Amino acid sequence: MTLGLLLIVAFGGALLTYLLGKISSKLRDVWAVLVSLAVLFGTATFYGKSVHDALSYKFLGLPLVLRTNELSWFFAIAICGVGSLSIIFSLSYIKNRERTDFYYFLMLLINASMLGIVFAGDLLSFYVFWEIMSWSTFLLISYNRGNALPAGMKYIVMSVIGSAAYLVAALSLYAKYSTLTFSAISTQMTTASPGFTLFILILGFMVFGIKNAVVPFHTWLPDAHSEAPSPFSAVLSGILIKMGTYGLILFLYVLVGFNQFSQLAWKAISLQTVLCWLGAITIVIPTFIALMQDDAKRLLAWHSIGQIGYIILGIAFGTSLGVAGGAFHVLNHATFKALLFLCVGAVEYRTGGVRDLNSLGGLMRKMPITFIGALIGAFGIIGMPLTNGFVSKWLIYKTLILNQNPFLAFAALLGTWGTLLSFYKFLHNIFLGQLPDKYKDLKKAPTSMQIPILLYAGIIVLFGVLPGIPLKIIGGFVTSFGLTPLKINLWGIVSETGILNTINVSMAVVSAFFVAWVVFAFAGRSVPTTAQDTYAAGAQIPQDKYQYSVEFYNPLYRMVGSYLRDVIDEFYGWLARVTQMTGELVRRVYTGDVGDYVLYIVFIVAASIGLKIWWPT
Amino acid sequence: MVAVLLIVVPLGLAFAMPLFNFVSKHIAGYIPIAAMLCNLILSILLLPSVMENPQIVVLGGLSPPLGIHLVAGPLGVGLSGLISLVGLAVSIYAWGYIKQGAQDKYHALYLLLLSGATGAVLTGDLFNLFVFYEILCISSYALVAYLGDRNGVESAVKYLIQGSVGSGLILVGIAILYGMFGTLNMAQIAIHIKDVDSPAIFLALVFLVTGFGVEAAVFPLNAWLPDAHSTAPSSISAILSGIAIKVGIYAVARVLFTIFGVAAVFQYVLLLGLVTLLVGEICAFSQDNIKRMLAYSSVGQVGLIVFAICIATPDGVGAGLFQLVSHALSKAVLFLGVGYLVACSGSMSLSSLNGIGKRMPVVCFACVVAAFSLVGLPPFAGFAGKFLIIRAALAGKGIFFTVLIGIVLLATVVEGAYFFRMVQTLYFKDAKKQIEFKKTPASASIPILALVVLIVALGVYPDVLLPYLKSAAADLLNKAGYIKEVLG
Amino acid sequence: MIVGLYTMLTKKNLIKVIIGLSLFETGIHLLLVVVGYIQGATAPIFSKTTGSSAEMVDPTPQALVLTAIVIGVAILALALSLAIRLHEYYGTLNLRKIRELKW
């Protein structure tokens, strides 16, 4: 199986799904699942192999290269995993909607193009797959109509701006070195001037920062992720924005190399510091904005931005622990964010599209599997021990503290605190608390939705207890970047000041839970009572208005709410309005009066002659 | 000999149209199809043989300065192939689309337009270029007004006045050149132009470039374009945007490169092209009328093509020619498709096309593909064009060009904004009122789909065109080579 | 020529603009003829009384002018018929008022 064949299977499978859907929808569902699983197994066969295929097909005389190494394989497995689980989830989610062929086609197409991105070995094929991913994402975000349309437009305009920056960077590299393949460029960039390297890195940060939704490029994400269909939001938050991370790692570590990157500085401010601080701001502010959201998916979307801050912080920090932590967090965030979006999707599906946190509640008894999934996902994202989030966050904290960066470490911890608060709100408002009357007869989530939820939950716990499995691969590519190698065991990692042994940690946590359970089981009886059992001086207590979940954290809103406006979003909106007004003004040139038009012709003749006479040659 | 056939066949058939009409009323629609098919086959057959040595046809046995040369070089034959391809597609479409009015006159004028275009790209004589250019222009003035409605007549009058001023300026330029050199053959003028150093040369250059620039639609000479292209019948809009403007660009390029070739002028026209691009895209963004939006988009793309050609390196000219081809195909698809969309919904406003993708899936799909190609998204043809242009501009040219490319890409972002808005309107918005589903006739879907297939094929295999682009670029840039080929 | 251009720029009535166009083109035709003029030479027609071709004015511009006049006539005819149609629709030929298509 060659890389080219794998990609052909992926793209061809997508196209065939659309055509099969015209024949029968059952056939198409089965085929979609088969294609995504086939691609997953195909990718798995490349484990540990290092392939470098130059294709015989040349585009405009430029060779195209497909390659895989540990870095690509790591991302590819994540892509295939998240993609196939989302397709399984969609089997019930999309069942009664219209244009489902289009939906499956686009899901598989996006999957295939993301695979193409990580398998690309030169800047041109990277760009081709990147653009295919961008426009198909735009089409799928707009799938929901209504509010999704401006969200899609915001996304695609920002993405095109990023692509423009990428083209300038790639073709400047081509102009200088006459090659676009990664291996050739990385050897040649060691001799590049710092000015040129800075130029390339800034352009690279623009394009990948926009896709990755780092502050200040994050404004498209909350709208796009909340308005997209839920299984696709899982793919979007889970893995699509991580394509930006992949690109950033590519530019920073593969093309430019860590030595040159760490030396780009102006007086005391180095590019590395700037990126780390952008990462830190991205952790803190969006996490607290997420606290105040009332829409479940918007809350999760703002959290995606926050967690991306951890990844960027880890990667930009540059130590082997940091890069390993950042890269591991890529995988972890994919698992728990996808899990959380799928849980919200299940709730949405059963309640008929309700995402408003103020009106849900108490669904724990009605949808237990979904609740367990959301609980484990929440533990993961907070970073509770026993989950994989704990390991990656530990790595990042450790490296920040070891390298004496107290402010960055404090920012990271602040993010965790905010995450804890908002996920308590998330869990409480959907699953705990009182059950509104209209949801009394809610059914459980269907099986095809429960399977992915349980699988994700299992992976979170598995990688939490045995993190060595993914860490081995990550350790491999961290070493290939020239950083000091990590000593990794199946259950832990060895660092300078101590060993992270997750078996011990898990034992500790499990025993703590056990103790707590024992205490509560043998403690005094508690009397069950309803929420309405309270003093109201004899007045009637309205049952449906007595919901504790409404305006959770109200005091906090009042304190910090006015500070947490998204000023960057407002700035971009202002820019767009200015462009539109410029357009209105420029239009007035064409007045509709033919005398004016003839005047323009005469004017150009006069101006040309005038320029020639008075221009100093 | 074959090169003469390329011009004579459509011209002769156009004049013979009344005879055909006498025979049968319905046959008029088939004649352009036959003529363009013949032209296409001839161009394809001729192209390989002229790549190295252009075919010179001496008309009437009199060689210059008394007679007229036809120079069938790679650029000329390639462009004539493009003209006949787009002409064929549009004539098949028009066979089913033009149902009212004096149809035989429409088809006769249409053939005249195409023969004017073909003649203009194949000639080697300056005044002959002017004559064919005039045939093209006058046919287009009449065809814009074909439908006879208010807007059509108004825009035809305005187009006519501006076009005639342009033609007058060209004639002044030709007069100056003839006065100085005594010959009208472009190659002979090119030889002698280095020997004369007088301000009159520059004057001639300004008049010629401005005059041809009116048809080529550079800013601010292009005020006729949004009106004319939006109010003409859709098949004519397609041909105007796809072919007529390109002939204008060809004429400007031919005059600039072959006759003059002054470096400073290239920079000036380059900046003019950039301004055209910006103004075109920004104006397109604020339009509500979809055909006017597409017309302004044509303005923008013309600016881009002129920008690329004026980079004046073989890469740059080749890139501009590729973009020319891809724009001709994509804009033709868009105008042809929009023709039926507008007929179905009854109004040209963008909001009336809400949700029409459900009722006319094939046409809307083609429009989406063409729109993505124009924005420059892989895997369509426009991506290869934009990639080539940026590569040519950045190739060792320094920071000035990097800034210019930044502006070009900014215009591309604006272009993306309004095309994506169009895609969302076609598919994802809810229709305001019920639109009856009129099935698109096969005469419309076949040419549209054929052009879409070409766009995708060019996008996936752009290398097919590369050797032709290289020889065509050499044809334009290599002045000494051109003179040697023509004059022996 | 300049007179014609001025007329086209400033006059409001479509017919006056078309007349201006015609003046503009006539001016250009004259320019073309003048280009071929040689001092003291005579018309380029061979007949029994005239001498050799060395004493004749250059005939090529005159051929060019003939072509240009024909083109001008065609444009004029087209313009005038369009003007008639325009008057039917708008009721006026005032170009400042016929401005439905703008920006």
Condensed to tens digits (0 to 9), the pLDDT of residues C5-55 reads: 888 888 888 899 999 999 999 999 999 888 888 777 777 777 766 666 667
pTM for this model (two decimals): 0.90
Distance from CA of C61 to the nearest CA of A (A): 24
Contact B141 C75 (CB under 8 A): yes
Single-letter code of the amino acid located at A197: T
- Report yes or no: C94 at the A interface, CB cutoff 8 Å: no
A445 three-class SS? coil
Q: Is C20 on the interface with B (CB under 8 A)?
A: no
pLDDT at A545: 62
Count of CB atoms situated within 10 Å of the CB of A441: 7
Residue of chain A minimizing CA distance to B293: A587
- The answer to whether the peptide bond before residue A216 is cis (omega within 30 degrees of 0) is yes
Q: How far is the alpha carbon of C42 from chain B, nearest alpha carbon, in Å?
A: 18
Tell me the shortest Cα–Cα distance from A287 to chain C, in angstroms: 46
Chains touching chain C through at least 3 C-beta pairs below 8 angstroms are A, B
Query: Quick check: helix, strand or coil at residue A318?
Result: coil
Task: Report pLDDT for A259.
Answer: 76
Touching check for A594 and chain B: CB below 8 Å? yes
Q: Touching check for C89 and chain B: CB below 8 Å?
A: yes
Look at B224 and A160 and tell me if their CB atoms are within 8 Å. Answer: no
Task: From chain B, pick out residues whose CB is under 8 angstroms from the CB of C68.
Answer: 171
Is the minimum CB–CB distance between A160 and chain B shorter than 8 Å? yes
Gap from B179 CA to chain C (nearest CA, Å): 5
Answer yes or no: do B157 and C71 touch at CB < 8 A: no
Residues of chain B contacting residue A135, judged by C-beta atoms under 8 Å apart: 372, 377
Interface of C with A in 7-36 (CB under 8 A): 8-12, 17
CA distance A393 to A461: 15
Token couple for A402: 């070891």
Facing A599 at nearest CB: one of C9, C96, C99? C9
Q: Tell me the chain B residues in contact with residue A166 when contact means C-beta distances shorter than 8 Å.
A: none
| pLDDT one digit per residue (tens) for chain B, 488 residues | 678 888 888 888 888 888 887 887 777 778 888 888 888 888 888 888 888 777 788 777 666 667 788 888 888 888 999 999 999 999 999 888 887 777 788 888 999 999 999 999 988 888 889 999 999 999 999 999 988 888 889 899 999 999 999 999 999 999 988 888 888 888 888 888 877 777 788 888 889 999 999 988 888 888 889 889 988 888 999 999 989 999 999 999 988 887 776 777 888 888 889 999 999 998 888 888 899 999 999 999 999 999 999 887 888 899 999 999 999 999 999 999 998 888 888 788 888 888 787 778 888 899 999 999 999 888 898 999 999 999 888 886 778 888 888 899 999 999 999 999 998 888 888 777 666 666 777 778 888 999 999 999 988 888 888 888 888 888 888 777 778 777 76
Number of B–C residue contacts, CB under 8 Å? 88
A488 vs A495: CA distance, rounded Å: 9
d(CA A333, CA A327): 10
The answer to whether A89 and A345 have CB atoms below 8 angstroms apart is yes
Q: Which chain A residues are closer than 8 Å to C102 by Cβ?
A: 590-593
Q: List chain C residues with CB under 8 Å of B145.
A: 82, 85
Contact assignment for A592 to C100 by CB distance below 8 Å: yes
Domains of chain C in start order, with CATH, are 2-38+58-102 (1.10.287.3510)
Tell me the nearest-neighbour CA distance from A230 into chain B, angstroms: 18
B46 neighbors B77 (Cβ within 8 angstroms): yes
Cα separation, A474 vs A253, whole angstroms: 14
Chain A touched by C102 (CB under 8 Å): yes
Contact A315, A422 (CB under 8 A): no
Three-point CA angle B86, B90, B96, nearest 5°: 160
Residue C92 burial by Cβ neighbours in a 10 Å radius (0-12, 13-18, 19+):
middle
Residue A109: its H or E element: helix A100-119
Q: What is the pLDDT of residues A438-487, one digit of tens each?
A: 777 778 888 888 888 899 989 888 888 888 778 888 888 888 877 777 77
User: Pick from C9, C12, C101: which is nearest to A592 by CB?
Assistant: C101
pLDDT tens sequence across A480-490: 877 777 777 66
CB contacts, 8 Å: B161 with chain A: 594, 597-598
Residue A205 host element (H or E): helix A194-212
Q: CA of A581, closest CA in chain C: separation in Å?
A: 14
Helix H, strand E, coil C: the string for chain B is: CHHHHHHHHHHHHHHCHHHHHHHCCCHHHHHHHHHHHHHHHHHHHHHHHHCCCCEEEEECCCCCCCCEEEEECHHHHHHHHHHHHHHHHHHHHHHHHCCCCCHHHHHHHHHHHHHHHHHHHHECEHHHHHHHHHHHHHHHHHHHCCCCCHHHHHHHHHHHHHHHHHHHHHHHHHHHHHHHHCCCEHHHHHHHCCCCCCHHHHHHHHHHHHHHHHHHCCCCCCCHHHHHHHHCCHHHHHHHHHHHHHHHHHHHHHHHHHHHCCHHHHHHHHHHHHHHHHHHHHHHHCCCEHHHHHHHHHHHHHHHHHHHHCCCCHHHHHHHHHHHHHHHHHHHHHHHHHHHHHHHHCCCEHHHHCCHHHCCHHHHHHHHHHHHHHHCCCCCHHHHHHHHHHHHHHCCCCHHHHHHHHHHHHHHHHHHHHHHHHHHHHHHCCCCCCCCCCCCCHHHHHHHHHHHHHHHHHHHCHHHCHHHHHHHHHHHHCHHHHHHHHHC
> Quick check: A609 and B203 CB within 8 A?
yes
| DSSP state for residue A62 in the 8-state scheme | B
User: Least CA distance to C94: which residue of chain A?
Assistant: A593
Whether B153 sits inside 8 A of C35 (CB atoms) is: no
CB contact under 8 A, B160 and C79: yes
φ, ψ dihedrals at B425, nearest 5°: -65, -40
Q: Chain A: give the shortest CA distance to residue B377, in Å.
A: 6
Q: What are phi and psi of B465, to 5 degrees?
A: -85, -15
- Asked if B412's CB is within 8 angstroms of A590's CB, the reply is no
Residues of B in Cβ contact (< 8 Å) with C90: 150
Please list every residue in chain C whose beta carbon sits closer than 8 Å to the beta carbon of residue B178: 32, 35-36, 60-61, 64
| A23-42: burial string, b at 16+ Cβ within 10 Å, e else | eeeeebbebbbebbebbbeb
> CB–CB of C35 and B283 under 8 A?
no
